[in-house]
Amino acid sequence: MLALFAVLLSTAAAHTAALRKANKTNAVYTVTATAYGAVVGQTDSKPFLTADNSRIPRHYGSHTRWLALSRDLLRPWGGPFEFGDKVRVIGISPALDGVYTIHDTMNRRYRHRLDVLAHPRERISINRPGVKLMWISASNQASRRRTQPAEKAVTKAAHRKAQARRTPAKLLATKHPRKQAKRPASLAHQKHGVAK
C-alpha cells in the first residue's frame, strides 16, 4: 500500500513538472520594454555586477543581448523565468528584437517589465508597452557558474603547497634567472676596506 502511494506521488510530481514546463514553453507574456545602462544612477552601487553574479563585459552594448526582468517574472519571486534562461523578445524594434539571456532583475516597484542592457553612448531610450516575451531554453547552470568557493579553496591550497616545496634558491632563480646572490666569505673586508 505504501509502495503504491509512493509511485502515485512520484507520478503526480513528474506530471506537475511536465505541465509547468509545457506552460512555460507555450506561454507568451506581454510586457513593457525599457533600456538601461551599467551606470550607478540606473543600477545599484556595483553597476557591472548583475543579480546572478555575472560581470557585464567591458565593451557591452545592445549587441550583448542581456536583459533584466521585473521580479514578478523571475522564479525566486514566484515567476516562471530563471536567471540564465534564453527568451525571445518581439515588438521593441527590428534592431532590438531577438534572443536575449536573463542576467539581472529590476527594482521591486516594477511589474511586467523587461530592461534591455545598452551602453549609454547608444542613446537608446525606449518605453514600449505590448512587447511579447517567450521562453526558448533553460539556463545552463554548469557553464554559467563560476568556480565554486570550495574549488577556489582547493586551488589556493594546492598553490600554497607548490610554493612551500620550492627552495629559496629555486625561488630566486625563477624570479631573476641571471641575478644570483653573491655573498662574501667574510664581512671583514667591509670593516677595513681591504679584501682578505
- The tens place of each residue's pLDDT in the chain, 196 residues long, gives 556 555 555 665 555 555 455 555 678 999 999 998 887 777 777 878 888 888 888 888 888 889 999 999 998 888 899 999 999 999 998 989 999 999 999 889 999 999 998 888 888 888 889 999 999 988 665 344 444 444 455 556 666 666 666 555 555 555 555 555 565 555 555 555 555 4
CA atoms of 35 and 133, how far apart (whole Å): 15
| pLDDT attached to residue 67 | 92
| pLDDT attached to residue 147 | 40
Place of cell 543581448: 65
What DSSP element (H or E) covers 133? strand 127-137
| pLDDT attached to residue 144 | 43
In sequence order, what DSSP letters do the residues of 81-104 get, joined into one string?
Answer: B-TT-EEEEESS-TTT-EEEEEEE
Task: Work out the number of other CB atoms within 10 angstroms of the CB of residue 52.
Answer: 17
pTM: 0.58
Question: Are 24 and 79 contacting, i.e. CB atoms less than 8 angstroms apart?
Answer: no
| pLDDT attached to residue 134 | 93
